[in-house]
Amino acid sequence: MSTRVKLGHHFYYTVTVEDLKSGRMRGKNVVLEGTVEDKPRIEFLPMELPGYRTVFSVAGIRIEFSGSPCLGKGDKVRVYGRFLAGDLIAMAIETEKALFIAEE
């Protein structure tokens, strides 16, 4: 099994893209490092809280984050979240300059 890191009250397994694509990490808390491949899409959700959802990809893995972090194409990120059904639902995104955390 991969190494574990702690952020807040949760532990996350450090994984590679191959680990995620194999499906053996489905349903687990993971941390993935990489570069934002495309322009993040920020969606306004008027009927839901927190009101914004950001969607982007790292190494072909789709990532969703509840909120609107300051990210751009080419940024190096470390994403903490739960891997479900081929997507990574991010709880935190760490960049070189900031740490963005979603409410639990």
3-class DSSP state of 7: strand
Locate 83 and state its tokens.
Answer: 């891997």
- Stretch 53-71: mean pLDDT: 93
More confident residue, 13 or 104: 13
- Stretch 34-56: mean pLDDT: 88
Q: Tell me, what's the pLDDT at 8?
A: 86
Cα–Cα distance for residue pair 96/91, rounded to 1 Å: 17
- Stretch 18-25: mean pLDDT: 88
State the average pLDDT for the chain: 91
- Residue pair 88/82 in contact (Cβ under 8 Å)? The answer is yes
Helices (H), the chain: 17-22
Backbone angles phi, psi at 17, to 5 degrees: -60, -40
Q: What percent of the chain has pLDDT over 90?
A: 69
